[in-house]
Amino acid sequence: MRSQLKREHIAARHLRQLPEVAVLLPRIRFRRATRQGTVWVTEALFPGYLFARFEWRANLRVVHHAPGVAGVVHFADRWPTIPDEVIESLRTAVGEEEVREVPSEFSPGETVRIAGGAFHGLEAVVQRALPSRQRVMVLLEFLGRQTAVEVEVARVVRVADERSALL
């Protein structure tokens, strides 16, 4: 199913109220950089899409017009189906709550972005984690030279795409 922009959760909630429709909305929870520091956000694993199983002929109209739904994915007169194994694999990956948290621990050599403070927006490479102090030592390019700096873990986010970590 296609959902309206940033309305996957609304579409899923309304479709779950229909007794003849089974819904899967895999989501991820991760830290995102903002000017005020990092915040935890939850987003759809597949932005703009969710999965629904229903009897096509009997329920297409009611499903198509549910709040938050933009349409049912189709290609001309072909309505694709997804194998049960793929749906079960996704369901297993995200768990019962349909939310998978992307871990926030950092490894040496990992590229990160600093959020907030004097170094906001700069990319750095993690040298080592200092878990007892909730800090990481990063190496960043600043004023034309590489500098090692200790930064609060809460002010550091991964540069890599969070969705690729799950997939």
Q: What pLDDT does 161 receive?
A: 58
Polymer length in residues for the chain: 167
Where do the DSSP E strands lie in the chain?
2-3, 22-24, 27-34, 37-44, 51-53, 69-71, 99-101, 111-114, 123-130, 135-142, 145-152, 156-158
Structure tokens at 31: 């830290």
How far is it, in rounded angstroms, from Cα 101 to Cα 128? Answer: 22
Q: Give tens-digit pLDDT for 11-64.
A: 999 999 999 999 999 998 887 777 777 788 899 999 999 999 999 889 999 999
- Whether the pTM exceeds 0.75: the reply is no
| Residue-averaged pLDDT of the chain | 86
Least confident segment among 15-19, 123-127, 129-133: 129-133
